[in-house]
Chain A
Amino acid sequence: MADEDEEIVLSELDDADLVQQMHDDLYDGLKEEIEEAVNILLARDWTPYDILTKALVEGMRIVGIDFRDGILFVPEVLLSANAMKAGMFILRPLLVETGAPKVGKMVIGTVKGDIHDIGKNLVGMMMEGAGFEVIDLGINNPVENYLDALEEHKPEILGMSALLTTTMPYMKVVVDTMKEKGIRDDYIVLVGGAPLNEEFSMAVGADAYCRDAAVTVETAKDLIARRHNQLASNG
Chain B
Amino acid sequence: MPDTTPARRSLTSALPDLGELAQDRTLIIACGALAREIGTVIGRNGLSHLALRCLPATLHNTPDKIPEAVRAAIHASREKYGRIIVGYADCGTGGLLDKVCAEEGVERIPGPHCYAFYTGNAAFEAAGDDDMTSFYLTDFLVRQFDTLVIRTLGLDRHPELRDMYFGNYEKVIYLAQTENAELTVAAEQAAEKLGLAFERRFVGLGDLARFINDVN
B106 contacts chain A at the CB level, 8 A cutoff: no
B120 contacts chain A at the CB level, 8 A cutoff: no
What 1/0 flags go to B34-78 for Cβ under 8 Å of A? 000000000000000000000000000111100000000000000
Is the CB–CB distance between A197 and B94 below 8 Å? yes
Chain A 111-162 residues near chain B, CB threshold 8 A = 112-115, 117-118, 139-140
B158 contacts chain A at the CB level, 8 A cutoff: yes
Write the nearest CB–CB distance from B26 to chain A, whole angstroms: 26
Is the CB–CB distance between A139 and B168 below 8 Å? yes
- Identify whether the interface residues of B are mostly helix, strand, loop, or mixed: loop
Once the chains are docked, how many angstroms separate the CA of A74 from the CA of B161? 11
Please judge, given known A-B contacts A75-B153, A113-B129, A115-B169, whether A163 and B161 are in contact too, CB under 8 Å: no
Q: Give the size of the chain A interface in residues (CB under 8 angstroms).
A: 26
Interface size class of B (residues with CB under 8 A): 20 to 34
Is the CB–CB distance between B168 and A75 below 8 Å? no
Candidates B92, B96, B161, B168; contact of A78 at CB < 8 Å: B161
What 1/0 flags go to A170-210 for Cβ under 8 Å of B? 00000000000000000000000011110010000000000
27 A-B contact pairs sorted by A residue (CB < 8 Å): A74-B61, A74-B153, A74-B154, A75-B154, A75-B157, A75-B161, A78-B161, A78-B164, A78-B165, A79-B154, A112-B129, A113-B132, A115-B133, A115-B168, A115-B169, A118-B165, A140-B132, A163-B92, A165-B93, A166-B112, A166-B116, A194-B92, A195-B90, A195-B92, A196-B94, A197-B94, A197-B96
What chain A residues lie within 8 Å of B128 (beta carbons)?
113
Is the CB–CB distance between B90 and A75 below 8 Å? no
The 5 closest A-B pairs by CB, nearest first: A75-B154, A195-B94, A165-B112, A165-B90, A115-B168
What chain B residues lie within 8 Å of A195 (beta carbons)?
63, 90, 92-95
Write the nearest CB–CB distance from A144 to chain B, whole angstroms: 15
What chain B residues lie within 8 Å of A139 (beta carbons)?
168
What chain B residues lie within 8 Å of A114 (beta carbons)?
132
Is the CB–CB distance between A117 and B95 below 8 Å? no
Once the chains are docked, how many angstroms separate the CA of A71 from the CA of B110? 33
What chain A residues lie within 8 Å of B165 (beta carbons)?
78, 118
B113 contacts chain A at the CB level, 8 A cutoff: yes
